[in-house]
Amino acid sequence: MGMTPLEVIMELKQLKPELKNQKISYAGRLDPLARGVLLLLVGEEIKHKEKYLSLDKSYEFEAILGIETDTYDLLGLIQSLELKLVPINVNLIVNDFVNKYRGKQLQSYPPYSSKAVDGKHLFWWAKNKRLDEIAVPTREIEIFKFETVGMGEITLLKLEEKINREIALIHGDFRQNSILKRWEEFFAKYDRSEKLKTVKFNVTCSSGTYVRELVHQLGKEIGCGAVTIDILRTTIGDYSLKKSLKL
């Protein structure tokens, strides 16, 4: 979590001196607050990068209900300082959502992503508040397996601690100061012992599927908003977390 692919490559070369002079690239990155399997290609294998980029992926992820951010995860500006009520029948809505989203479909790219539109990344259009000037692109994805692991709760205190701890890991300019200030304003309105509902999922999907976008759609269907609070990539093709080198 918090490491860029280039930082991972540098750490790998420190860990394995025999790779120090090797050319190393990566096939697919992770969101700044996501963690899990990252494929690194060494030497001649870099020529086959497209093959690795097209592999299916599996994730374990968790969403929190009643909150929205502009990035659809915790590294984003919270959109309202007011908590939205979660409906009583939320379990039914979540189950319907999971069943409905299996299979092939068109998925919009999240506004804070690196997809290029008119020569600029989508996140540029979003940061400059110019999304209304463009059509946000979509792509066809396929969800092969999608299931609810369970529902739970998190206190506002635990959420606040998680946000401060994880955003501190991020390097580079991701609007951290503005984001943390906005979160502070939100938490100041509530008793830290208050609890929010969470949902955990497992998904296996085609390359290019955005878990954050799935959670955003879930929030719209429930009607109270939802934010991704944890993403763990467990497999890329046949490459699994259990077989991965841990850094």
Amino acid at site 242: K
Catalytic-residue membership of 118 = no
The answer to whether 230 and 158 are in contact (CB under 8 A) is no
- Of 31, 70, 73, 230, which residue is the catalytic one? 31
Give the separation between CA 47 and CA 51, rounded to whole angstroms.
9
Handedness of CA 187, 193, 197, 201 (dihedral sign): positive
The answer to whether 74 and 227 are in contact (CB under 8 A) is yes
CA-nearest of 2, 153, 131 to 75 is 2
- Collect all residues with Cβ–Cβ distance below 8 Å to 93 and sequence separation of at least 6: 87, 221, 222
Catalytic residues: 31
